């Protein structure tokens, strides 16, 4: 058995790298809220990073699975077992290259306050544990997808699916190839073309998660969505699995109206978009500009000293933000004007004088 790396992070906790039997047990115990994590662990994208937070007894307090879906398209799927570990897990996600966080509310919402890079949040109703009735006669326009449908499916989701912009075409093809091979994709035909599709992009030993569904705009309003959903539910039930999924705001499908008492709503599916990390060279240049500014700044008053101390205590990301006005200094590495770059005459954080910019950039 391969030895896992475990790094102490204080308070008796350790940061583990790599999956473990304890992690798989924790994921299974948290289903269906953790089915997205289970699906990522079961079929690992390339590359993938698994990080866990463990106590002294190696029990899992939290984990995050980082998967790469294209250039600069890293996705984080968190699992939060102990809410007290949310700050640490949020810090791990913040320091990662992730540009999107996807998961069920109890696993994502506690992390949001600890993600400074968070830009926007999308939420949709999560339906799980539904006892599906015996499906009626299945619509002949829907069918299980075959490998021959892959080119049309990739075009459908990569080119006409607004929620799928995070993935590139290559990532979509890998996902669809696996899902089609497992029998977890249903398509609908209309006017001689592939008009729509539903994909279970994550599945565990007990649950199938319907992650993606769309119909081409010109074929909407014809009942294709429920035709595909009925067939998918029948297929999933035949595999001995239960179905879970989320409903977006722009999805007009109403399970209660279609089936009657369809099932119990669980929580919400959360999707957090994260800003990218600034390149390190920008932070280094900004830090150098700040050091030069402090050497040249007039320190005659207490207010000026307090402002400089405030800037000195910022991290790299914050320093870049505070020195955003020093475009010429940051870009060209030195201040040719030889003048003070701090305006110490007003309240708040330092402001950049126009005269402080290199003359050729004013």
Q: Same structural domain for residues 302 and 248? A: no
- CB atoms < 10 A from the CB of 312, how many? 11
- CB atoms < 10 A from the CB of 28, how many? 15
Q: Same structural domain for residues 172 and 252? A: yes
The predicted pLDDT at position 226 comes to: 86
Q: Same structural domain for residues 256 and 317? A: no
State the CATH number of the domain containing residue 97.
3.40.630
Share of the chain above pLDDT 90, in %: 28
- CB atoms < 10 A from the CB of 320, how many? 21
Residue 288 inside a domain? The answer is yes
Cβ atoms of 102 and 201 within 8 Å: the answer is no
Higher pLDDT among residues 166 and 53, named by residue: 53
Residue 210 inside a domain? The answer is yes
Around 283, how many Cα atoms within 13 Å sit in the side-chain half-sphere?
9
Residue 266's nearest CA partner among 33, 108, 5, 39 is 33
Residue 147 inside a domain? The answer is yes
Q: Does the predicted model carry a pTM greater than 0.85?
A: no
Considering 37-41, 156-160, 242-246, 310-314, the range whose residues carry the highest mean pLDDT is 37-41
Residue 270 inside a domain? The answer is no
Q: Same structural domain for residues 247 and 290? A: no
Residue 171 inside a domain? The answer is yes
Residue 221's nearest CA partner among 242, 198, 196 is 196
How does pLDDT run across 171-199, given as a tens digit for each residue?
888 889 999 999 999 999 988 899 999 99
Query: What letter would DSSP give residue 72?
Result: T
Going through the chain in order, the beta strands assigned E by DSSP cover: 5-10, 13-17, 48-54, 60-68, 74-80, 98-104, 118-127, 142-144, 185-190, 193-199, 202-203, 207-210, 212-215, 242-247, 265-274
How does pLDDT run across 236-270, given as a tens digit for each residue?
888 988 888 887 666 666 665 555 555 555 678 89
How does pLDDT run across 73-121, given as a tens digit for each residue?
899 999 999 999 999 999 999 988 899 999 999 999 999 999 999 988 8
Residue 185 inside a domain? The answer is yes
Q: Same structural domain for residues 192 and 82? A: no
- Structural tokens at position 2: 């391969």
Domain-terminating residue out of 233, 261, 289? 261
Q: How far from the centroid of its chain's Cα atoms is residue 24's Cα?
A: 21
Please give the tally of structural domains in the chain: 3
Q: Same structural domain for residues 166 and 106? A: no
Choose the weakest-confidence range: 12-21, 127-136, 326-335: 326-335
The predicted pLDDT at position 330 comes to: 33
Considering 146-155, 241-250, 329-338, the range whose residues carry the highest mean pLDDT is 146-155
Residue whose tokens read 């079929």: 43
Q: Same structural domain for residues 244 and 182? A: yes
Q: Same structural domain for residues 39 and 118? A: yes
Residue 42 inside a domain? The answer is yes
Q: Same structural domain for residues 154 and 234? A: yes
Higher pLDDT among residues 135 and 338, named by residue: 135
Choose the weakest-confidence range: 215-219, 228-232, 308-312: 308-312
Residue 240 inside a domain? The answer is yes
Domain-terminating residue out of 123, 152, 181? 123
Q: Same structural domain for residues 216 and 321? A: no
Q: Computed over its alpha carbons, how large is the radius of gyration of the chain? A: 26
Domain-terminating residue out of 123, 150, 171? 123
Range of the domain at 287: 280-361
Residue 163 — very low, low, confident or very high, per pLDDT cuts 50/70/90?
Answer: low
Mean of the per-residue pLDDT values of the chain: 76
pLDDT of 63 > 70? The answer is yes
């Amino acid at each position: 058995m391969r030895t896992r790396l475990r790094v102490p992070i204080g308070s008796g906790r350790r940061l583990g790298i790599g999956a473990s039997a304890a992690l798989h047990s924790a994921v299974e115990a948290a289903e269906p809220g953790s089915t997205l994590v289970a699906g990522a662990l079961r079929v690992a994208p390339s590359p993938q990073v698994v990080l866990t937070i463990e106590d002294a007894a190696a029990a899992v307090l939290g984990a995050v699975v980082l998967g790469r879906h294209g250039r600069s398209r890293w996705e984080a799927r968190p699992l939060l077992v102990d809410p007290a570990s949310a700050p640490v897990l949020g810090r791990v996600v913040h320091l990662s290259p992730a540009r999107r966080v996807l998961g069920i509310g109890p696993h994502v919402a506690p992390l949001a306050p600890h993600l400074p890079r968070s830009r926007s949040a999308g939420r949709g109703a999560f339906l799980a544990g539904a006892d599906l009735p015996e499906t009626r006669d299945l619509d002949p326009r829907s069918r299980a997808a075959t490998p021959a449908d892959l080119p049309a499916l990739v075009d459908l989701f990569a080119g006409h699916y607004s929620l799928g912009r995070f993935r590139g075409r290559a990532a979509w093809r890998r996902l669809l190839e696996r899902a089609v091979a497992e029998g977890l994709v249903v398509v609908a035909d209309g006017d001689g073309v592939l008009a729509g599709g539903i994909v279970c992009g994550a599945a565990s030993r007990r649950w199938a998660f319907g992650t993606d569904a769309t119909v081409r705009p010109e074929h909407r309003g014809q009942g294709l969505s429920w035709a595909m959903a009925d067939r998918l539910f029948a297929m999933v039930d035949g595999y001995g699995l239960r179905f879970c999924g989320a409903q977006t705001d722009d999805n007009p499908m109403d399970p209660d109206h279609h089936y009657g008492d369809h099932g119990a709503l669980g929580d919400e599916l959360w999707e957090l978009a994260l800003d990218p990390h600034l390149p390190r060279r920008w932070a280094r240049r900004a830090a150098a500009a700040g050091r030069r500014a402090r050497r040249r700044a007039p320190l005659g008053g207490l207010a000026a000293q307090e402002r400089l101390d405030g800037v000195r205590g910022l991290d790299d990301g914050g320093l870049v933000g505070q020195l955003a006005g020093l475009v010429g200094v940051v870009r060209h590495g030195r201040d040719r004007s030889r003048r003070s770059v701090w305006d110490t005459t007003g309240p708040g954080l330092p402001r950049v004088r126009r005269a402080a910019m290199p003359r050729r950039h004013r």
